[in-house]
Structure 1
Amino acid sequence: MHYLSAEGLTKSYGIVPLFKNISFHINEGDKIGLIARNGVGKSTLLKILAGKEPPDAGKLWIHKDVKVALFEQQPEFDENGSILDNVLHEAHPVIQAIRSYEAAVEAEDADQLARAFELMDEVGGWSFDAKVGQIFAKLNITQHHQKVSTLSGGQRKRVALARTLIDIGFEAGHTLLMMDEPTNHLDVEMIEWLEHYLNQEKVTLLLVTHDRYFLDSVCDEIWELDRSDMQVYRGDYQYYMEAKAARIESEQASIEKARNTYRKELEWMRKQPKARTTKSKSRQDNFYKVAEKASQKIEDTQMQLEAKMTRLGGKVVELKKVYKSYGDKKVIQGFDYTFTKGERIGIVGKNGAGKSTLLNIIQQIETADSGKINIGETVVFGNFSQQGLEIKENVRVIEYVKSIAESFPLAGGGALSAAQFLELFLFPGDKQYTFIESLSGGEKKRLQLLTILFRNPNFLILDEPTNDLDLPTLAVLENFLMDYQGCILIVSHDRYFMDRLVDHLFVFEGAGNIRDFPGNYSQYRIWQKQEETRLKQQGETKAVKKQPAENNAQPEQDMQGKKESVAKKVSYKEKREFDQLEAEIAELETEKAGLEEALGNANLAFEQLSVHSKRIAEIIALLEEKELRWLEISELME
């Protein structure tokens, strides 16, 4: 089924067009990734397709049976309403069906009840509560009656995502889902779940994202807005990269050929007498076409920049027995680590686990409850935080950068001016004189990043640096960091970014435990899945060993030898703790299964749904803590 067609769409803000005369089609089942540099119109194009903004020119046709759903970067809510009020709004078709069913039951009208039953079947109303519960649990939305006005930016994004997924999940007709940066503010587990969800659902999708693994997993077609035009690549992200490289190479060859022709034609034009009127008109026209082609410039985001970094001494940063809690919540428990020059460490863990707290303690922005933090005298921190730029009004981009420094020193001698440095980070000359408040959200993030690098630190701390950055800027940043000689500490949910840059990970496992894992994120996930499999198999083995003695007879001396071996490694107290943990884990698993079954009950009240979802989240946290301790003791017993 043909969903949408656009012909000759044009949109400008000011003189320069965001895109000009672009045409495209979307058919049922398409899963398209839309990529471009920040500020060239990705979000604007989505709003035009959703009917929220008009184009300057062009035609847009949408099939009358297609509903367009838009997930925006800045979602709108009823600020005085609760999470449930905003997600389960009265206009939702299933809510209307449930209301009709309740009214029919109360009226005791057989015909009305039959129609209500039929409507509930049609919209999937019987499984509504279970599906809502699953989405809430996966996105860690627990305080269902909390007012939206009290939520943080990340919480608002997750609530908006839940609302969008619930809306499209129960649409009986055809829906075009458009999503603008849906992975921002989600932890890695949530992102992986969303990947799986979108791949399982029969959804037609137009997606804007900077997450390359997400893009590769979900989309099978890439659209790129480039130089006011749109390029279409029918394949995944890897195919797009290969095809784009080939296209750029071909264009560069074509431009070089045009430049050679231009030089010859220019010489011919200059030799013609001004008074002569018999000059070939067609050749003159062709000259101007060649001149236009020869003046084109293919922008390449590859950057090699060797900075003359402030010297980093032998002593960098030492953490000794660091503890930090917020009330009863332990975020760091006895953490020890000594940083060495040139380390590249990634930090992963669930939202709220304490990742940003560790970064603040290292920089002494926040104090630990106990422990020692020793900072080397030569350390110069560069801190990219999630707070964004702090600037005065009516400041131009170039003025802001020059207020930090006039130039950037290079390792081979010489320096880059502020304007040249801005060029490297994709701020061309005209953009450098733009007022900062006029920049897009992604452009402001890019400016924040380059001003931190422009200060030339030797210990970079990057807290979610990839949020709101476009793919060309990410390529520039990655190329810069690949050659960076100082220490790098990165908190990011961008798995591709982490895989490319880090050597090992600090994994926040909950209850203040931080694991130092020797590898990148993909290697960690492989190890984690292997551990889950091993623990499951180990649990099944232990269940078999608990069968009656006559079914598991072993030689007396083998049993005695095993007891003696365990006794040498494990104390009596640990053995009792181990037995108790097994019982507690079994009880929690049983309780969790019961709650999950209850969530599948179509008659469950929303209040109970809230209570059950919150308890499941608590049980998952408890299971992680207890299983980790069980594993520690079991390793001693092997």
Structure 2
Amino acid sequence: MNLLTVENISKSFGELSLFSNISFGINKDQKIALIAKNGSGKTSILNILSGKDSSDSGQINSRKGIRISFLEQEPDLDPKLTVEETIFASDNEVLKVIQNYEHALLDPEDADAYQKAFEAMERYDAWDFETQYKQILFKLKLEDLNVKVGLLSGGQKKRLALANALINRPDLLILDEPTNHLDLEMIEWLEQYFAKENMTLFMVTHDRYFLERVCNEIIELDNGQLYSYKGNYSYYLEKKEARLEQEAVEQHKSKILFKKELDWMRRQPKARTTKSKSRIDDFHTIKEKASQRRKEHEVQLEINMERMGSKIVELHKISKSFPNKPILDKFEYNFLKGERIGIIGKNGTGKSTFLNILSGTVQPDSGKVVIGETIKFGYYTQKGITIKEGQKVIDVIREFGDYIPLMKGKQISAQQLLERFLFDRKKQYDFVEKLSGGERKRLYLCTVLIQNPNFLILDEPTNDLDIVTLNVLESFLLDFPGCLLVVSHDRYFMDKIVDHLFVFRGNAEIEDFPGNYSDFRTYEDSNIQENKASKEKANEVKNTKNSWKEEETGKKLSFLEQKEYRQLEKEIQKLESQKLEIQNKFADSTLSGDEISKLSIQLKEITEAIEEKTERWFELSMSMDE
């Protein structure tokens, strides 16, 4: 069933044309991701779909009566309302019923009002809905319903807006970078939620694992053209590569034909016949086709790094705490040359504070940070670039000099450097305030790297960057010979570039884990399964001490059902391990298209098997609990 159709929409800002005459449709239960470079108009398309903005031409046709929710990058919420009031401010009928019921509970003497509220809860089947929405709030760490929105952080506001969107269960949910400001636990929960729910999604996200596991269609806006791929991220990569290869073949043929026609043009006499004029027109068409160049600028980061001495950075018994929140407790660590460390942990465990202490912007309560004489930090913070009124892109770079030193004694001008960071000559003279969020982040990243650091500290560098830029950044970081310390919620990014992790558990507990993020998840899941098995064993021992009469009356499962129940647990555990193993394989950049397709099919089959067996396990467990 078609929910929304986009027909030939275009959008321009002055002389800048973002896109023109693009068309596509959104059908029920589709989970579509839009991929495009920063500055291509992704957010503008989402604004047009949601009705927040209008296109210059074309039209949007939506099915009558459908509810559309839009999660913006920067949600517009009423700061005067509480979290609970924000949730109940929507036009969702079931939420109104729940609100009336909760008000009736506060006034038990009004029996008629309570009875009406109770009957409405029954009529709308609101009991399950209430459980679901409270679970969503709990998962998104929004337990305090009475706090005012104006007192929330940017991340908390984003999570509240996301909760609102999920709770309202719209017919079409439009999402702009839904994983931004979520910690890894929340991202994985949201991933599982979307994968199992029959929801229609249209999203922009840079999280490639999220694209892989949630989306069933990818739409790519590339050089003004729209390409559709009916599959997940792996399928998109495979088919895009095939398309580019075909375009390269056609380009080569066009060049050969152009040379042939050029020879003919040079041999033409001045007096031309009607037939030759027709051929001349064809020649100009061929010339235009042959001279087309794909704007696939690859950033070549060849910046020279200053030499590092034997002493890098030493942390001696560092302690730091805030009121009722210990961050570090006598933490010690000596960084070695070429170390690549990722930092993970829930929001509020002190990851950014740790980076600030290391870079000297925040002082520890006690302990000492010893920095080697040759160490030069490059610190990319979440705050981003400071915009100065009237400043142009080229001016931002020239603050650091007109020329940047490169390897082998070479140098590059500020203009050439910007071109390598995907800013063409025309874009370089745009005002910084006109740049998209992703373009500003790209410019800021450039300003950090050109300062020639040998110790890079990156705090959420992947937020708002498009996938093309992410691949470029990853390639650079893989070649970077200095020390690297990075905080990121992008699991694909972390898997690719770090060798070990600092796991911030909270309450000043920091674990040094020898592996990347997927290794850590496998380890954590195995621990969970082991703990579960230990508890089950303990319960079995306890049950054997009960009399046969108690055992007989306490359980309603037959012997065969009990055997099936235990077997299902083993099978689910085995399938989960296989699922993790396959997911980890997707991080291998050397996989061929056929291998990716096979892995995708295997992953789908295993996921379906897990869901089927888990459903049966729940049925049996409910009987045991009764």
**Aligned partners of 2:505, 2:100: CA distance in 1, in Å?**
46
1:61 aligns with 61
Which residue does 2:25 correspond to in 1? Answer: 25
Instruction: Check conservation: 1:306, 1:483, Cα contact below 8 A.
Output: no
Partner of 1:89: 89
Give identity over the alignment, percent: 50
User: Secondary structure at the residue paired with 2:61?
Assistant: strand
Q: Which residue of 1 aligns with 2:196?
A: 200
The letter for the 2-side match of 1:508 is F
* Cα distance between partner residues in 2 of 1:421 and 1:362: 29
Q: How does 1:124-163 map to 2 (within 5 A)?
A: 124-163=125-164
Equivalent in the alignment of 1:320:
316
8 Å contact from structure 1 (residues 505, 518) kept in 2: yes
Task: Specify the code of the residue in structure 2 equivalent to 1:391.
Answer: I
The equivalent residue for 1:255 is 251
CA distance in 2 between counterparts of 1:422 and 1:321 reads 42
Could you say what secondary structure the match of 1:426 adopts? coil
Q: Deviations over 1:192-227 (max 9, x none)?
A: 000111122210111110000011110011001111
- Specify which of 518, 523, 528 is matched with residue 524 of structure 2: 528
What's the C-alpha RMSD, in Å, of the aligned pairs? 2.4
Given that 1:324 and 1:332 are in contact with CA atoms closer than 8 Å, whether structure 2 keeps it comes out as: yes
Deviation at residue 303 of structure 1 after TM alignment: 4.5
Partner of residue 450, structure 2: 454
The Cα offsets for residues 65-120 of structure 1, whole Å up to 9 and x where unpaired, read as: 3222111112111121111111221533123334666789988669x967x66653
Q: Given that residues 301 and 473 in structure 1 are in contact (C-alpha distance below 8 angstroms), is that contact kept between their aligned partners in structure 2?
A: no
Report if the CA contact (8 A) 1:187-1:350 is conserved: yes
Question: 1:408 matched to which residue of 2?
Answer: 404
User: Judging changes above 3 Å, is the alpha-carbon distance between structure 1 residues 483 and 513 closer, same or farther for their aligned structure 2 residues?
Assistant: same
CA distance in structure 1 between the partners assigned to 2:192 and 2:463 by the alignment: 21
Give yes or no for the alignment of 1:538 onto 2:534.
yes
Aligned residue identity for 1:312: M
Give, in angstroms, the shift of residue 273 of structure 1: 4.0
Aligned to 1:421: 417
Contact 2:98 2:130 in 1 (8 A): no
Shift of 1:351: 0.3
Q: 1:542 to 1:369 in 2, by over 3 A?
A: farther
Cα distance, 1:275 vs structure 2: 4.8
Is the Cα–Cα contact under 8 Å of residues 298 and 420 in structure 2 kept in the other structure?
A: no
Pick closer, same or farther for the CA change 1:40–1:550 going to 2, 3 Å: closer
User: 1:328, 1:206 → 2: CA distance?
Assistant: 41
Q: Within 1, Cα distance between the matches of 2:546 and 2:248?
A: 79
Instruction: Give the equivalent residue in structure 1 for 2:343.
Output: 347
Measure the CA separation in 1 of the matches of 2:434 and 2:423. 14
CA distance, structure 2, for counterparts of residue 45 and residue 266 of structure 1: 42
- Whether contact under 8 Å (2:314, 2:335) holds in the other structure is yes
1:572 aligned partner? none
Q: 1:120 to 1:366 in 2, by over 3 A?
A: same
Measured in 2, the distance between the counterparts of 1:546 and 1:117 equals 42
- Quote the residue 2:601 is aligned against: none
Q: Equivalents in 1 of 2:111, 2:545: separation in Å?
A: 60
SS in 2 for 1:157: helix
Structure 1 residues without counterparts, runs of 5 or longer: 552-638
Counterparts of 2:529 and 2:540 in 1: how far apart (Å)? Answer: 17
The letter of the residue matching 2:243 is: R
User: Greater relative contact order (Cα 8 A, min sep 6): structure 1 or 2?
Assistant: 1
The change in CA–CA distance for 1:158 and 1:500 in structure 2 (over 3 A counts) is same
Q: Secondary structure at the match of 1:66?
A: coil
Gaps spanning 5+ residues in structure 2: where? Answer: 548-626
Shift of 1:59: 2.6
Q: What letter corresponds to residue 149 of structure 1 in structure 2?
A: G
* Distance change in 2, residues 1:334/1:535 (3 Å): farther
Alpha-carbon distance in structure 2 between the residues aligned to 1:542 and 1:119:
45
Distance in 2 of aligned mates of 1:531 and 1:46: 41
C-alpha distance in structure 2 between counterparts of 1:354 and 1:368, whole Å: 12
Give the aligned partner of residue 329 of structure 2: 333
Contact 1:425 1:450 in 2 (8 A): yes
**In structure 1, distance between residues paired with 2:210 and 2:546:** 53
**d(CA) in 2 for partners of 1:122, 1:435:** 57
- Please give the alpha-carbon distance, in whole angstroms, between the structure 1 residues aligned to 2:93 and 2:346: 33
Cross-structure match for 1:48: 48
Deviation string 1:166-191 (CA, Å, 9 cap, x unpaired) is: 111xx6xxx01111101000000000
1:159 positional shift: 0.8
Name the SS for the 1:280 alignment partner: helix
TM-score under structure 2 normalisation? 0.82
Please say if 1:435 is aligned against 2:435: no
Comparing 223-232 and 88-97, the one that deviates more? 88-97
Indicate the residue corresponding to 1:235 in structure 2.
231
- With over 3 angstroms needed to count, the CA separation of the structure-2 counterparts of 1:25 and 1:509, relative to structure 1, is same
1:346–1:498: 8 Å Cα contact kept in structure 2? yes
Q: What are the superposed Cα offsets for residues 331-357 of structure 1, whole Å, 9 maximum, x if unpaired?
A: 112211111111110000000101111
TM-score (norm 1): 0.81
- SS at structure 2 position matched to 1:46: helix
